[in-house]
């Protein structure tokens, strides 16, 4: 009787602590939960957004991460292809007047690709400053 009770308790404990939530292990996911910006100009500077020294600036009061997604959702491949992107991480301390602590803000780096391409482009985004 004690053995059965112990077995039932162990089984109950194992199943009561499990989850049914599916978590993706694929980091290449397109985040598209916000309407895109309307991009009306193309930079003539060939390094715009492609280097930490010249990041895309999408910051506004309290909307930085959302504006990053809106900017990325407005992009397309060189021939109008649909893109996909993922956040590769934060990097590159950069001076900013919007800094809350210290004297620098951190940029976000996204990896972007498009249908039919083997290329991956790194885009650096400053979510604190508007430009």
The residue ranges of every structural domain in the chain are 26-39+46-126
As a whole number, mean pLDDT of residues 24-29 equals 39
pLDDT of the residue at 62: 66
Residue 57 φ/ψ, nearest 5 degrees: -110, 110
Order of strands, sheet of 56-57, starting from the edge strand that comes earlier in the sequence: 56-57, 121-126, 104-114, 83-95
The alpha carbon of residue 51 and the mean position of all alpha carbons in its chain are separated, in whole angstroms, by: 17
Contact between 85 and 73 (Cβ < 8 Å): no
What Cα–Cα distance (Å) separates residue 107 from each residue in 32, 40, 41, 67, 112? 20, 24, 22, 13, 16
Q: Would the pLDDT of 30 be above 50?
A: no
- 127 sits in which H/E element: none
Averaged pLDDT of the chain:
76
Q: How many CB atoms lie within 10 A of CB 59?
A: 20
Strand, coil or helix: what is 4?
Answer: helix
pLDDT digits (tens, 9 = 90+) for 52-104: 999 999 887 667 888 899 999 989 898 999 999 999 999 988 888 777 777 78
């Amino acid at each position: 009787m004690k053995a059965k009770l112990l077995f039932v308790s162990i089984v109950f404990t194992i199943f009561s602590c499990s989850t049914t939530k599916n978590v993706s292990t694929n980091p290449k996911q397109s985040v598209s939960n916000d309407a895109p910006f309307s991009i009306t100009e193309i930079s003539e500077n060939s390094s715009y957004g492609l280097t930490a020294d010249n990041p895309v600036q999408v910051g506004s009061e309290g909307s930085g991460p959302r504006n990053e997604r809106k900017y990325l959702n407005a992009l397309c491949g060189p021939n109008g292809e649909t893109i996909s992107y993922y956040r590769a991480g934060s990097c590159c301390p950069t001076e900013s007047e919007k800094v809350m602590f210290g004297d620098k803000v951190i940029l976000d780096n996204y990896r972007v690709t498009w249908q039919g391409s083997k290329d991956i482009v790194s885009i650096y985004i400053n979510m604190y400053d508007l430009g």
